Structure 1
Amino acid sequence: MKKLLLTAMIVGTFSLTYAQSDYYNDYRRSISDVNWASVITDLVLSQTQANQIYALNDRYNDYNSWNRVYVSNPDRWRNDRYVELERIMGHDKYLKFKNKYYKGQNPVAVYNRNKNNDKRYKHMDKKVKVYKHKNGNGHR
């Protein structure tokens, strides 16, 4: 019984760490996927605003510093980051940024959508399609 409990704890710890690292990878991509020098130039941001954006991007240089803040709620980074970007840029320039880099979608929703790719319930889509196909009328 002790071995079973210990195994369950170890597996749970590794799966939690894996999930946390996925969130951190999304966080890092939210920084690396954008050419911030171009954003600053295109939006005509001041040097102070540019410095604040660079400081925001450098806030969590490694997983451990990020995890200390977001360990209990890893989803929160998305909202925190984009609220802070809006504060730095101002509402109008933030909307221009969002429209150009996220095609008008809320960046929080973009990363929330990505986090569910290849997760344990993805196989359910196939079952729903098969059920719809067999049923023929499209009702679930």
Structure 2
Amino acid sequence: MLVGGFGLSYAQSDYYNDYRRSVTDVNWQTVIADLLLSKTQANEIYSLNDRYHDYNSWNRVYVSNPDRWRNDRYVELERIMGRDKYLKFKNKYYKGQNPVAVYNRNKNNDKKYKHNNKKVYVVKEKHGNGHHH
């Protein structure tokens, strides 16, 4: 029982780290200035960013569905900024892609992609090798 729970919490913390990066990787003051957001909007963004001040408070909400943080967060950002400014934000900071997809991709790149990459040309002649999902 304990071992299973530990495995789960490790995966959870990966999601949590993505969540934290979505808060810390962006200079929100710049975003707010760029998009000419109102004081109210700025405050709402800051309080959204501060919503989960630690892993436990985040985990209480997302324990059963850690993937959901992205959707929740970006729906909120869109609501706060309004559709047009949210699109500008996405274009500038996520090159127009859905941030949800960006974080998905980053997660995959970090894990599988990097060491599969090497195997591709090192272990070319052996088949069925290096394909663990």
Structure 1 length as normaliser, TM-score? 0.79
Structure 1 residue 39 corresponds to structure 2 residue 31? yes
Residue 56 and residue 11 in structure 1: after superposition, are their counterparts in 2 closer, same or farther (change >3 A)?
same
* Aligned partner of 1:82 among 74, 80, 84: 74
Match of 1:4 in 2: none
* Aligned partner of 2:90 among 73, 98, 104: 98
Q: CA shift at 1:15, angstroms?
A: 1.0
Match of 2:131 in 1: none
Structure 2 length as normaliser, TM-score? 0.83
Structure 1 residue 116 corresponds to structure 2 residue 124? no
Q: CA shift at 1:14, angstroms?
A: 1.3
Residue 55 and residue 116 in structure 1: after superposition, are their counterparts in 2 closer, same or farther (change >3 A)?
same
Match of 1:107 in 2: 99
Is the partner of 2:65 in helix, strand or coil?
A: coil
Determine the C-alpha separation between the residues in 2 that align with 1:16 and 1:121. Answer: 22
Match of 1:6 in 2: none
Determine the C-alpha separation between the residues in 2 that align with 1:95 and 1:64. Answer: 31
Q: For this pair of structures, how many residues does the alignment match?
A: 127
Match of 2:57 in 1: 65
Percent identity, please.
83
Q: Which runs of 4+ in 1 moved over 3 A?
A: 117-135
Q: CA shift at 1:75, angstroms?
A: 0.2
- The gaps in structure 1 that reach 5 residues or longer are 1-8, 136-140
Match of 1:19 in 2: 11
What's the RMSD between the two structures over aligned residues?
2.5
